[in-house]
């Protein structure tokens, strides 16, 4: 089989977990691959159903060189977070929404998908098995990465016949190296991230490779990240490499609509709801890039990124700066979200799944 069963067997003894404290500097987590103890694997199938999921030691996996994901990018992923509450218990944030998004993406990519229950079970098992890697309260989160991909061999273009659903985890802190400092965004005009009819609205593995060139170019000029424009008119805001974008003007918060080219972020959707709760008017609408010049605040949202304030945006060589105050909307929204995620604020929305 493409995914070596011997690898899985060697790796499948959760009882060998010795409960040692993780050797991690919790104050300097950042966002880099830090292997934990276990991952959860399920395979599929002739009939479209995933069966026999199990925990395995976190280890390399073996794939056929013909694997669908390696040759034709038949793969999607999710990213969600678990947090440790002050009392030590573990909380998962909206795993049901991630499961639903994966199901929708799977359909677009001709992948069978785990059921909502299987997805949530995998996330919970992965967190429980990696308990010692969940950071202490306020130090960060355990980032959970479910992957779904064609593992079976193909040569002509077409879907694989075997699939893997694999959930691994890694402790994380700030996504950006600069920590919580406001982002300096560069508006990209040479390349686009997505186009109508494409897969910009799906979390495919193939959405992220193509943004790296512009990202490196912007970083080499001192920017934190790239802000993309729509591919048709080249004048409406789309999203940042790994996050959604919001602007505030007066009491109105606006964000581009998720009409196919924009990733429907779970953090995006949560922030829209929190903003309305806090009394802001929220609009999902096309935002002309020149509106940035008049904005009171700009911020980005994403599971990995969190809620990140933007200090400047550079478009056509002109840099527009935004004030980032202690009492900003971005701060209020971010701390409410983190409060709910970490159990400091009561969840009356059904967003928290206790583990």
Q: In angstroms, rounded to a whole number, what is the distance separating the alpha carbons of residues 132 and 84?
A: 10
3-state DSSP call for residue 187? Answer: strand
Number of residues that bind ligand COI (CB under 6 A): 7
Contacting ligand COI within 35-74 (CB under 6 A):
none
Q: Residue with the closest Cβ to ligand COI?
A: 79
- Residue 176 CB, shortest distance to ligand COI, in Å, is 11
- Can residue 242 be called a binding residue for ligand COI (CB under 6 A)? yes
Minimum Å gap between C-beta 309 and ligand COI is 17
Using CA atoms, how far apart are residues 146 and 166, in angstroms rounded to an integer?
6
- By beta-carbon proximity to ligand COI, the closer residue of 81 and 124 is 81
Q: Active site includes 203? A: yes
Of the listed pieces 6-14, 146-154, 288-296, 298-306, which binds ligand COI according to CB under 6 A?
298-306
- Answer for which of 304, 329, 330, 352 binds ligand COI (CB under 6 A) is 304
Output 295 or 305, the one with its CB closest to ligand COI. 305
> For residue 231, what are the CA distances in angstroms to 125, 207, 238, 256, 257?
41, 14, 9, 14, 15
Residue 75 or residue 302: which is nearer to ligand COI going by CB? 302
Query: Smallest distance from the beta carbon of 304 to ligand COI, in angstroms?
Result: 3
CB of residue 345 vs ligand COI: minimum separation in angstroms? 21
The single residue among 167, 303, 309, 341 that binds ligand COI, judged by CB under 6 A, is 303
Cβ nearer to ligand COI, comparing 54 with 269: 269
Burial zone of 323 (CB within 10 Å; 0-12 exposed, 13-18 middle, 19+ buried) = exposed
- Shortest CB 137 distance to ligand COI, Å: 21
Q: Is 302 in the site for ligand COI (CB under 6 A)?
A: yes
| Coil, helix or strand at residue 342 | coil
Query: Stretches 217-225, 289-297, 302-310, 313-321: which one binds ligand COI (CB under 6 A)?
Result: 302-310
Cβ closest to ligand COI, residue 8 vs residue 80: 80
Per-residue binding letters, 194-213, with ligand COI (x by CB under 6 A): --------------x-----
Kindly state whether residue 79 participates in binding ligand COI, applying the rule CB under 6 A. Answer: yes
Dihedrals φ, ψ of 339, to 5°? -60, -45
DSSP at 95:
H
List 81, 203, 249, 349, catalytic entry: 203
CB of 222 to ligand COI, least distance (A): 21
Residues forming beta bridges with residue 352, ordered by sequence position: 93
- 335-342, long-range: CB within 8 Å, 24+ apart, which pairs? 336/274, 336/277, 336/278, 337/267, 337/270, 337/271, 337/274, 337/306, 337/307, 338/306, 340/93, 340/274, 341/81, 341/83, 341/91, 341/93, 341/141, 342/83, 342/84, 342/85, 342/86, 342/91, 342/137, 342/138
Assess contact for 272 and 284: CB atoms under 8 A: yes
CA distances from 171 to 89, 133, 174 (A): 16, 6, 11
Backbone angles phi, psi at 219, to 5 degrees: -65, -35
What residues act catalytically? Answer: 203
Residues at the contact surface with ligand COI, assessed by CB under 6 A? 79, 208, 242, 302-305
């Amino acid at each position: 089989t493409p995914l070596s069963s011997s690898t899985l067997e060697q790796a499948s003894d959760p009882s060998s977990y010795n409960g040692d404290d993780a050797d991690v500097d919790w104050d300097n987590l950042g966002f880099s691959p830090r292997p934990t103890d276990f991952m959860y694997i399920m395979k599929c199938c002739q009939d479209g159903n995933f069966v026999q999921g199990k925990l395995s030691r976190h280890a390399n996996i073996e794939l056929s060189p013909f694997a669908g994901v390696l040759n034709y990018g038949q793969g999607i992923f999710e990213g969600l977070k678990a947090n440790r509450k002050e009392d030590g218990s573990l909380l998962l944030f909206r795993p049901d929404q991630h499961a639903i998004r994966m199901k929708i993406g799977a359909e677009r990519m001709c992948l069978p998908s785990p059921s909502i229950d299987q997805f949530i079970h995998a996330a919970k098992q992965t967190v429980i098995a990696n308990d010692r890697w969940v950071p202490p309260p306020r130090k960060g989160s355990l980032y959970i990465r479910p992957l779904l991909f064609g593992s079976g061999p193909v040569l002509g273009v077409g879907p694989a016949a075997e699939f893997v659903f694999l959930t691994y985890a890694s402790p994380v802190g700030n996504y950006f190296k600069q920590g919580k400092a406001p982002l300096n965004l560069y508006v990209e005009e040479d390349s686009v991230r997505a186009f109508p009819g494409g897969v910009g609205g799906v979390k495919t593995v193939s959405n992220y490779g193509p943004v790296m060139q512009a990202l490196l170019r912007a970083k080499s000029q001192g920017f934190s990240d790239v802000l993309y424009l729509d591919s048709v008119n080249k004048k409406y805001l789309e999203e940042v490499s790994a996050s959604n974008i919001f602007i505030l003007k007066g009491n109105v918060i606006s964000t581009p609509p998720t009409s196919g080219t924009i990733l429907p972020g779970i953090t995006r959707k949560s922030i829209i709801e929190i903003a309305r709760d806090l009394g802001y008017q929220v609009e999902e609408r096309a935002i002309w890039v020149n509106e940035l010049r008049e904005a009171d605040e700009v911020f980005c949202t994403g599971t990995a990124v969190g809620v990140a304030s933007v200090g400047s945006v550079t478009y056509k060589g002109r840099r527009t700066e935004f004030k980032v105050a202690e009492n900003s909307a971005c701060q209020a929204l971010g701390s409410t979200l983190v409060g709910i995620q970490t159990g400091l604020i009561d969840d009356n929305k059904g967003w928290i799944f206790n583990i």
